[in-house]
Amino acid sequence: MSEWADDIFNVLIEAGVRQVAYVPDMGHKRLIERCNADERMTAVLLTTEEEGVALLAGAWLGGERGVLLMQSSGIGNCINMFSLTRSCELPLLMLVTMRGQWREFNPWQKPMGRNAKKLLTTAGFDVEVVSKPGAAAETVAEAAEGVFKNNCRTAVLLHQKLTPKKTFGK
Amino acid sequence: MDADEKQSETYPLRRRRVAQALLQDRRGLLVVAGLGSCAWDITAAGDDPLNFPLWGAMGGASAIGLGLALARPESRVLVITGDGEMLMGLGSLATIAIQAPPNLAIVVFDNERYGETGMQPTHTAFGADLPGVAKASGFPVTGQVDDQGGLDAALPVILKAPGPVFFNIKVRAEDLDFVLPPKEGVILKQRFRQALLGET
């Protein structure tokens, strides 16, 4: 299961990503486990996603590349902190697992899920969407290359059908 | 409102002198300053390419310091921020404690005021205990400084002790002249990376 997560892990290693900031998330479970288990990565457990935006700004000032993992509900937590990234033209790569779009059990996930792309675009991100597991590696690789070569900001949205369905026991 | 409006006007330590004491012999120290007064304070002590003064990103100073400290384990990283800025990012103390970078020190200049918005009292004016939060979050070295003797004792700990270190320094609530660093974020980033890494 989640072989796409292993593909993404390999791409991140290849891209020189060394700080992996995350708020725990079911969709990213496998990738987070891989990053925590690998000595080349520093996996940083956050209390809120905006910490990750700030963390990776500091990482870049120190010459290290990072990635921020979140689910779509985390986007809203970051909006003001994105001003740091944009004002300083810092690179920022985000991998976002989507909620609220595919057999979603929890209607409270809909507002952020439905507006994820719009909010990210407004905040100055390029947004790429992955709907098929086989496309994950190539999309993330392209995004990482662009982000770190050109000091830009890209979010890769991983469609909810890539991740396990949450049913709350129903 | 129960805050003692007068107390913070009588704290003996002056923030600009504390900044000067922290930075006067800085050799290679990497400094992140929270937005507002702390950014002016470190600039008044002498602008430096290895200063990263924030003009926004409220609540993010400590997390920026963490990312920098993890990336440059051979360098000492000092975050100087205000009580209001720290209060907005308390969760980052728990995040830092897990990573426990020994080269990171966080210093709060606590005047118990939101200085940039009209000197309204912050939560510390009502008793919020920032070093207590840091200690409970898992910081191995924490302390509070109330006077010159306390500052003299804390300085070597802040600048050299294995951390992460957290110190809250009570400073007088005072209106001071603006001493502004460059406000273009790209310039602040590029000069920092050029000085540290030799590339922008």
Q: Rounded to the nearest 10 degrees, how much is the dihedral formed by the CA atoms of A104, A23, B31, B41? A: 60
Q: How confident is the model at residue B6 (pLDDT cuts 50, 70, 90)?
A: low
How many whole angstroms from its chain centre is CA B86?
A: 9
Find chain A residues with C-beta within 8 A of B74's C-beta: none
CB pairs under 8 A between A and B: 121
Q: What is the mean pLDDT of each run of 10 residues along chain A (170 residues)?
A: 88 98 94 97 98 98 98 96 97 95 82 92 96 95 97 95 75
CA angle (B32 as vertex; B148, B34 as ends), nearest 5 = 80
Q: What is the predicted pLDDT for the residue at B4?
A: 57
Strand segments (E) across A98-169: 126-130, 153-158
Checking if the pLDDT of B2 tops 80, the result is no
Q: A51 touching B, CB under 8 A? A: yes
Of the candidates A46, A58, A66, which has its C-beta nearest B65's C-beta?
A58
Tell me the CATH number for domain A3-162. Answer: 3.40.50.970
Structural domains for chain B = 7-197 (3.40.50.970)
C-alpha to C-alpha distance for A41 and A20, rounded to whole angstroms: 7
Q: Where are the alpha helices (DSSP H) in chain B?
A: 15-23, 37-44, 61-71, 83-88, 91-99, 130-137, 148-160, 185-197
Q: Does A129 touch chain B (CB under 8 A)?
A: no
Q: Are B67 and B85 in contact (CB under 8 A)?
A: no
Could you give the C-alpha distances from A142 to A27, A30, A71, B11, B160, in angstroms and in order?
Answer: 21, 21, 21, 55, 42
The string of pLDDT tens digits covering residues B48-86 is 999 999 999 999 999 999 999 999 999 999 999 999 999
Query: What is the model's pLDDT at position A110?
Result: 86
ipTM comes to 0.96
| Amino acid occupying residue A8 | I
Q: What is the pLDDT of residues B114-129, one digit of tens each?
A: 998 999 999 999 999 9
Reported as half-sphere exposure (CB side, CA atoms, 13 A), residue B87 has a value of: 18
Domain boundaries, chain A: 3-162
